Structure 1
Amino acid sequence: RGRDFRVVDTGGIVPDDKDFIPAEILRQARVALDEAAAIVMVVDGRTELAAPDLELAHLLRITGKPLYIAVNKIDSDKQVGLEGDFHRLGVKELFPISAEHGRGIDDLLDTFIATLPPAEENPNHLTTEDTKVTEKTKDNGGTAQEAQTAFTEEPTTDVRRPTTAPATTNDQQPPTDLHDQRLPTEVKVAIIGHPNVGKSTLLNQLTGTSRAIVSPIPGTTRDAIDELVERDGQRFRFIDTAGIRRKGKTHLMAEKLSVVMARKHLEEADIALLVIDATEGVSALDATIAGYAHESGRSMIILINKWDLVTTGQKRAISQARAARIQDSKRPNDQNLYLQRLRGALKFLNYAPVLFISASTGKNVEKIFPLLEEVARERRKRIGTGEMNRFLKTVDFERASVPMRQRVKILYMTQANVAPPTFILFTDRAVQLHFSYQRFLENQIRHAFGFVGTPIWIKNRARD
């Protein structure tokens, strides 16, 4: 129809409900109503009108915005008569529709598009809560809220970077000339973790909005919530996913679907922010969630949230093993000790940088953006074939702890892909690389070229 617009689906609104979640949904919906160019109120055509429907219609009418009533579940002509009772809402524009079958949607679209302001006057994107956003336009984005003063008493990051590079000769070009580190137009960042670790609070801090409902009740977020932030010309789309539970702990169908959708959004992202509760320590569930991201090839940054509660003594970091708890009790605020425990529990994420933050106060949240830019570049780094093979000659494979019968001779190697970096080895025989051999080579590649925060995939094939 030649118009771009964005549709925001709010949570169900019950005006008189004073419970926390319904009240927060209403508060977020008011933000959307203030910024909306038009409002569509959806009612169930197969149920009778109730007092909340009448009160909500009144609240919407007094906004002065164009208002339309969509009477849903009118699936056939036999049910069209059901719409008559809804004229009591006092809204002239009333449309019988079937959202499931698409019936009547065209008439609704044509009517409210005609009332939208000209394209150049179209309001900024809407922000509301508990939403599934159908995006039909380019988002204007938002700005990140200024974070508070960073921790100063101890280092807050642990970024694994190469210390030395392989020797080069005069006829070699500098490695940076062969690296393709251009960032994509939009970097998708999924915020993952188990329930109640502070993912929604972190999203609000990163975007400078109250985009997500924050509640101490685990499982508050069910649908993925996304927000676009533009910073120094680079756009980041942050996606707050539902907390991932163990399979045996998800009983309701809504919970099961939210976990499935969380993993789906994770696999569509470029980078995953793994949020860990500092007061709970690294659990087996944290390792499982991290494994999902690692195996799907997502780059990773580990965020230790609620560290302010540890440094102020309100809570202590909890380790999983009894001996570790005893040692931690002697140095409860030691970040280096905490990092040592974390690296031991998440050995397969030795490439992921670690940042200690407080999502509730905003401390160190501002440091996430430089890390995101660095990891996004590393994810798209490309090494030339010539440089890779010069590097290969410097590697002493005798140091790899691999049985002799499972060793292979690597003839040459090349980088076949980026995001994640994928290397192809051409060997003298068709055998699967031993795990130790592959890990040794990966460590050597990281030592020489970096690839901070991103997994490396290594494949091998026999020379024809």
Structure 2
Amino acid sequence: EYKGEKEEEPIKIAVVGRPNVGKSSLVNFFLGEERVIVSEVSGTTRDAIDTRLKVDGKDYILIDTAGIRKKGKVEYGVEKFSVDRSIKAIRRADVVLLMTDAVEGTTDQDKKIGNIIIDAGKAVIMPVNKWDLVESKTSTTVNEVSKKIRNEAPHLDFAPILFISAKTGQRMNKIFPNIREVYEFSRKEIATSLLNRVINEAYALNPAPSEKGKRLKIYYSTQAGVAPPVFILFVNDKKLLSQSYERYLEKKLREAFGFVGVPIRLIVRERSEKG
């Protein structure tokens, strides 16, 4: 509990994904729920209408609901997918729902949108919609499909996957608790002493491989920002930190502190041993 806690800002949510994955169905489901109190507010762009929601006493803003619900060619039922509009929504959001289609699986376009979300440093959840249309499900289907998504989009392996149906309402009640969880992780601050202990233990467990007789040394680590969490590592030589070792350190940070649904930034700086 924080002393003198200010009134919470509403969590801003962007719903993005390919055409026809069910973005408007998801938004309409939320707006039609009895426990949701809805009010429309003007967004930052001239034609964007945001919707303010209150769910279980907490405030949220759904970004650009008018854009999500607008159909491109109504006669064919095709949603006009605007990358530009999605990028704007992602930039304004605290949490992004990257919707995919359970029947079609993960596509290149989904992965590209994933990259945009990571580059923007936003918390992300992956609702897999139309789960009701997946035939012959068994007790292992969820694990099998989760594994497939992880293999196809390894860069999003930190994002929670939710198998939902905006049509039937299946698991839709899980979305807002997940939004709150990833939002809180995106703003988590780690005490410097604890951070250094975790990094030092990770290094002791698995020291960085030496290159041409030189080995990476990590002198000190500190957190420099939140949303996304940014960590600075002070080292002897930046060139000695390989991508795979960076991934290892990120994995250890996630094991220690969670950071579910949140991209982590590691910044490496050189300094002499004497500091």
Please indicate the TM-score interval, normalised by the length of the shorter structure.
0.7 to 0.9
Aligned pair partner of 1:404 in 211, 221, 231? 211
Mark the runs of 5 or more structure 1 residues left unpaired by the alignment. 1-176, 212-222, 244-254, 317-330
Partner Cα separation in structure 2 for residue 182 and residue 274 of structure 1: 30
1:396 is paired with a residue whose SS is helix
Post-superposition shift, 1:390?
Answer: 1.9
After superposition, the Cα gap between the structure-2 partners of 1:301 and 1:228, relative to the gap in structure 1 and judged at 3 Å, is same
1:404 is paired with a residue whose SS is coil
In angstroms, what is the RMSD of aligned CA positions?
2.9
2:261 is paired with a residue whose SS is coil
Aligned pair partner of 1:334 in 127, 131, 141? 141
After superposition, the Cα gap between the structure-2 partners of 1:388 and 1:190, relative to the gap in structure 1 and judged at 3 Å, is same
1:283 alignment counterpart: 107
Partner Cα separation in structure 1 for residue 204 and residue 157 of structure 2: 21
Partner Cα separation in structure 2 for residue 460 and residue 227 of structure 1: 40
Aligned 8 A contact 1:300 1:352 in 2: yes
Please give the per-residue CA displacement for 1:366-409, whole angstroms capped at 9, x wherever unaligned.
11111111111111100011111122221136636756257421
Q: Which amino acid aligns with 2:100?
A: I
Q: Do residues 379 (structure 1) and 186 (structure 2) align?
A: yes
After superposition, the Cα gap between the structure-2 partners of 1:197 and 1:389, relative to the gap in structure 1 and judged at 3 Å, is same
Please give the per-residue CA displacement for 1:295-348, whole angstroms capped at 9, x wherever unaligned.
11011101110000114x5xx9xxxxxxxxxxxxxx797111111100001111
Q: Do residues 394 (structure 1) and 201 (structure 2) align?
A: yes
After superposition, the Cα gap between the structure-2 partners of 1:386 and 1:268, relative to the gap in structure 1 and judged at 3 Å, is same
Q: Which amino acid aligns with 1:279?
A: V
Partner Cα separation in structure 1 for residue 207 and residue 15 of structure 2: 36
Aligned 8 A contact 2:209 2:215 in 1: yes
1:40 alignment counterpart: none
Post-superposition shift, 1:184?
Answer: 4.6
1:226 alignment counterpart: 50
Q: Which amino acid aligns with 2:123?
A: S
Aligned 8 A contact 2:208 2:215 in 1: no
After superposition, the Cα gap between the structure-2 partners of 1:415 and 1:184, relative to the gap in structure 1 and judged at 3 Å, is farther
2:134 is paired with a residue whose SS is helix
Alignment of 1:74-85 (within 5 A): none
Q: Do residues 365 (structure 1) and 172 (structure 2) align?
A: yes
Q: Do residues 189 (structure 1) and 13 (structure 2) align?
A: yes
Q: TM-score, normalised by structure 1?
A: 0.49
Mark the runs of 5 or more structure 2 residues left unpaired by the alignment. 39-46, 70-79
1:389 is paired with a residue whose SS is helix
Partner Cα separation in structure 2 for residue 341 and residue 182 of structure 1: 42
Partner Cα separation in structure 1 for residue 234 and residue 86 of structure 2: 37
After superposition, the Cα gap between the structure-2 partners of 1:273 and 1:263, relative to the gap in structure 1 and judged at 3 Å, is same
Partner Cα separation in structure 1 for residue 68 and residue 192 of structure 2: 41
2:156 alignment counterpart: 349
Post-superposition shift, 1:365?
Answer: 0.8
Partner Cα separation in structure 2 for residue 390 and residue 201 of structure 1: 46
After superposition, the Cα gap between the structure-2 partners of 1:358 and 1:264, relative to the gap in structure 1 and judged at 3 Å, is same
2:239 is paired with a residue whose SS is coil
Q: Percent identity?
A: 39
Q: TM-score, normalised by structure 2?
A: 0.80
Q: Which amino acid aligns with 1:429?
A: D
